[in-house]
């Protein structure tokens, strides 16, 4: 409970929006209330109507008002319900739009912690799922709870108008289902829900191990063991779920019994109060019958509140991300400089490392305008770190990184006009071919698009597509092969037209023949630009002006490919390996 209050107090995701959309929220609660009210009022007026009619009044006009009201409430209940559902869904979806933008901006600000975590698709799904859960929290927990409580209080007040003693009794009796039951539910199910989430996570991991590692299980002849392990997981979860279900059954049973008891209290109350007079007796049926339609609204509080633990994690996670991002945003510098005229890159005695482990030590390198340079080295040698330093994503611990004399940190706002990046898996959006290309240059004409497509040898392919440039890429660009995807990304980069292009192992996922063809296209189309190419093997190495090897935090070897081939034994050996010297010795 304390945890819940603390969370609500610190929350910036869910509850503040209630305040900023007060009016709509009031409308939803009003409509929700009116739905139940009409249902109860229908039975109330009907009860009165037939009781009064049974007294055989001389004139139908004497029951005219209840007749009209009965019809009105009969139509009112479904109409209010319909309106309530529409308005509440609309409200929630509106907030989700705001949430999405906010979550996107949060991830986008590039604060390292958030950014690094969102690299894997799984985290993204978790985040998108969190938003979905908040949607449900509003619809399934918050609205029904508030509406239920409003009805609860109004019932007590309604009786209180006639008799405060009975009002207090009803307040206490119904309080068992509207206040006590939700609290007990939260206390009992909270711990169970936590355990259940743990077990479910375990089950998912085990099942993923089963499915992804199925080949190994089969070969090892251990599939029987697999079924056994799964069985244990399932049993543990099912036991917990069964306990939860039993609790819910008996809770709902108690809720229903409380309503039945309330009906009798109302019967006694109505008889005591109205029983004396011949007209008054007609109210007895009215009061007693009205309580049953309110049952749903009152007992749904427990159900809604019982789901809270499910939403709690999502809300906590989003809030924590927010706090983290804010803390880091304050550390970022915002100085900005003018665009440099000459894009010469200079690394001067750069030292960098994570925690205690140095990655680069006193590294100096100058890349003049237009040079094509390849960066080689074993995995983990610091190639990617070097790129991050060039891009200004990381700051050197000592030394400077400048482009045209300006520190890269001061260039972050112009970075996209200065440096383009082609990495292993450039993202192609689930939109049309044209839209994907135009991301490189928003106002590019169709002619320009066709021009770059021709340069990257994709023109023929796109011409053949059913809708040409307007053909959807389909999700993740899965319509196209790996080589084609890289070419599309390259076309986008050509449109972006920056003086510097970084290639981060762009061909790692391709077979050697496709790889070579893509590399040739890349270097042909980027002939007038500075190209910095990180690669893990030597296919296409002769296309560059300069090769550097990074090893032991330093540049271990540097020179033109021709020179290295002539002088460096190690380079020769690697080249021989990579090209697979097949001549039989």
Site for other proteins in 520-559 (CB under 8 A): 520, 536-540, 542-543
Write the interaction track for other proteins spanning residues 92-131; mark x where CB under 8 A is met and - where it is not: -xx-xxx-xx-xxx-xx-x-------xx-x--xx-xx---
* 294 and 159 Cβ atoms separated by less than 8 Å: no
As given in the structure block, the two tokens for residue 565 are 């081939």
> Residue 470 interacts with other proteins (CB under 8 A)?
no
* Cα–Cα distance for residue pair 429/46, rounded to 1 Å: 60
* Cα–Cα distance for residue pair 169/237, rounded to 1 Å: 41
- Residues numbered 432-451 forming contacts with other proteins, rule: CB under 8 A: 439-440, 442
Task: State how far Cα 481 lies from the chain centre.
Answer: 28
SS3 content of the chain, % helix, strand, coil (to 5): 65, 10, 20
Task: Please identify, using beta-carbon distances, which residue of 423 and 451 lies nearer to other proteins.
Answer: 423
Measured from the CB of residue 336, what is the shortest distance to other proteins in angstroms? Answer: 14
Q: What are phi and psi of 349, to 5 degrees?
A: 45, 55
Task: Please identify, using beta-carbon distances, which residue of 208 and 400 lies nearer to other proteins.
Answer: 208
Cα–Cα–Cα angle for 87, 256, 49, rounded to 5 degrees: 70
Of 11, 135, 369, 423, the one binding other proteins by CB under 8 A: 423
> Residue 61 interacts with other proteins (CB under 8 A)?
no
Spatial neighbors of 582 by CB under 8 A, at least 6 apart, are: none
Measured from the CB of residue 44, what is the shortest distance to other proteins in angstroms? Answer: 11
* Cα–Cα distance for residue pair 563/546, rounded to 1 Å: 9
* Cα–Cα distance for residue pair 572/577, rounded to 1 Å: 9
Of 291, 421, 500, 548, the one binding other proteins by CB under 8 A: 421
Write the interaction track for other proteins spanning residues 128-167; mark x where CB under 8 A is met and - where it is not: x---------------------------------------
Comparing CA positions, the residue from 545, 573, 529, 427 lying closest to residue 486 is: 427
- Residues numbered 192-251 forming contacts with other proteins, rule: CB under 8 A: 200, 203-221, 223, 226-227, 230-231, 234-235, 238, 242, 245, 249-250
The β-bridge partners of 533 are 374, 503
* 515 and 505 Cβ atoms separated by less than 8 Å: no
Task: Please identify, using beta-carbon distances, which residue of 252 and 545 lies nearer to other proteins.
Answer: 252
Task: Please identify, using beta-carbon distances, which residue of 85 and 459 lies nearer to other proteins.
Answer: 85
> Residue 50 interacts with other proteins (CB under 8 A)?
yes
Measured from the CB of residue 280, what is the shortest distance to other proteins in angstroms? Answer: 10
Task: Please identify, using beta-carbon distances, which residue of 46 and 178 lies nearer to other proteins.
Answer: 46
Of 330, 333, 379, 464, the one binding other proteins by CB under 8 A: 379
Of 34, 151, 181, 289, the one binding other proteins by CB under 8 A: 289
The β-bridge partners of 532 are 373, 502
Helix (H, G, I), strand (E, B) or coil at 398: strand
Measured from the CB of residue 91, what is the shortest distance to other proteins in angstroms? Answer: 10
Of 496, 557, 558, 559, the one binding other proteins by CB under 8 A: 496
As given in the structure block, the two tokens for residue 166 are 């009975």
# of chain residues touching other proteins (CB under 8 A): 152
Element (H, E) at 437: helix 433-438
> Residue 467 interacts with other proteins (CB under 8 A)?
no
The β-bridge partners of 367 are 345
> Residue 262 interacts with other proteins (CB under 8 A)?
no
Select the span of 168-176, 277-285, 329-337, 455-463 touching other proteins (CB under 8 A). Answer: 277-285
Q: Are strands 406-407 and 398-403 parallel, antiparallel or unpaired?
A: antiparallel
Select the span of 288-296, 315-323, 445-453, 460-468 touching other proteins (CB under 8 A). Answer: 288-296
Please give, one letter per residue, the 3-state secondary structure of 247-275: HHHHHHHHHHHHHHHHHHHHHHHHHHHHC
Q: What's the Rg (C-alpha) of the chain?
A: 35
- Residues numbered 22-41 forming contacts with other proteins, rule: CB under 8 A: 38-39
Task: Please identify, using beta-carbon distances, which residue of 50 and 179 lies nearer to other proteins.
Answer: 50
> Residue 12 interacts with other proteins (CB under 8 A)?
no
* 446 and 469 Cβ atoms separated by less than 8 Å: yes
Measured from the CB of residue 99, what is the shortest distance to other proteins in angstroms? Answer: 9
Measured from the CB of residue 2, what is the shortest distance to other proteins in angstroms? Answer: 30
- Residues numbered 337-366 forming contacts with other proteins, rule: CB under 8 A: none
* Cα–Cα distance for residue pair 460/122, rounded to 1 Å: 36
């Amino acid at each position: 409970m304390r945890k819940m209050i603390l969370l609500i107090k610190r929350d910036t995701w869910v509850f503040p929006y209630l305040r900023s959309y007060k009016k709509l929220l009031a409308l939803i609660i009003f409509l929700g209330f009116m739905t139940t009210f009409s249902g109860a009022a229908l039975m109330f007026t009907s009860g009165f109507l037939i009781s009064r009619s049974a007294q055989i009044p001389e004139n139908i006009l004497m029951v005219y008002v209840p007749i009209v009201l009965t019809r009105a409430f009969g139509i009112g209940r479904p109409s209010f319900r319909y309106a309530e559902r529409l308005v509440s869904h609309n409200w929630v979806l509106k907030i989700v739009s705001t949430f999405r933008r906010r979550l996107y901006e949060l991830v986008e600000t590039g604060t390292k912690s958030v950014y690094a975590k969102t690299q894997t698709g799984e985290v993204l799904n978790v985040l998108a799922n969190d938003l979905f859960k908040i949607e449900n929290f509003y619809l399934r927990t918050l609205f029904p709870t508030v509406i239920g409580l409003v009805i609860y209080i109004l019932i007590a007040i309604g009786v209180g108008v006639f008799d405060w003693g009975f009002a207090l009794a009803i307040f206490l009796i119904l309080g068992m289902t509207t206040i006590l039951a939700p609290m007990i539910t939260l206390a009992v199910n909270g711990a169970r829900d936590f355990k259940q989430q743990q077990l479910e996570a375990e089950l998912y991991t085990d099942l993923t191990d089963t499915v992804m590692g199925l080949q190994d299980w089969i070969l090892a002849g251990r599939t029987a063991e697999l079924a056994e392990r799964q069985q244990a997981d399932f049993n543990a979860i099912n036991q917990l779920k069964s306990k939860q279900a039993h609790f819910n059954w008996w809770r709902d049973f108690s809720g229903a019994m409380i309503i039945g008891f309330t009906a009798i209290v109302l019967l006694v109350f109505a008889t005591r109060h109205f029983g004396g007079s011949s007209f008054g007796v007609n109210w007895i049926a009215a009061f007693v019958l009205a309580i049953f339609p309110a049952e749903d609204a009152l007992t749904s509080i427990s159900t809604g509140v019982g789901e809270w633990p499910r939403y709690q994690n999502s809300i906590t996670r989003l809030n924590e991300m927010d706090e983290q991002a804010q803390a880091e945003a304050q550390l970022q510098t915002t100085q900005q400089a003018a665009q440099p005229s000459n894009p010469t890159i200079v690394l001067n005695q750069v030292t960098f490392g994570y925690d205690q482990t140095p990655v680069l030590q006193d590294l100096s390198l100058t890349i003049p305008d237009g040079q094509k340079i390849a960066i080689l080295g074993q995995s983990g040698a610091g190639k990617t770190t070097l790129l991050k330093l060039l891009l200004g994503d990381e700051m050197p611990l000592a030394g400077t990184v400048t482009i045209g004399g300006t520190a890269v940190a001061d260039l972050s706002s112009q970075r996209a006009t200065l440096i383009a990046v082609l990495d292993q898996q450039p993202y192609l959006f689930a939109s049309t071919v044209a839209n994907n290309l135009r991301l490189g240059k928003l106002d590019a004409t169709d002619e320009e698009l066709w021009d770059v497509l021709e340069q990257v040898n994709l023109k023929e392919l796109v011409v053949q597509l059913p809708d040409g440039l307007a053909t959807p890429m389909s999700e993740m660009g899965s319509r196209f092969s790996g080589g084609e995807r890289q070419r599309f990304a390259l076309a986008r980069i050509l449109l972006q037209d920056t003086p510097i292009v970084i290639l981060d192992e762009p061909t790692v996922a391709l077979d050697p023949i496709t790889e070579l063809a893509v590399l040739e296209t890349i270097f042909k189309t980027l002939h007038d630009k500075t190209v910095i190419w990180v690669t893990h093997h030597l296919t296409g190495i002769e296309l560059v002006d300069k090769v550097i090897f990074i090893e032991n935090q330093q540049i271990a070897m540097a020179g033109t490919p021709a020179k290295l081939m002539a002088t460096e034994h190690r380079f020769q050996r690697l080249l021989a390996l990579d090209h697979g010297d097949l001549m039989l010795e």
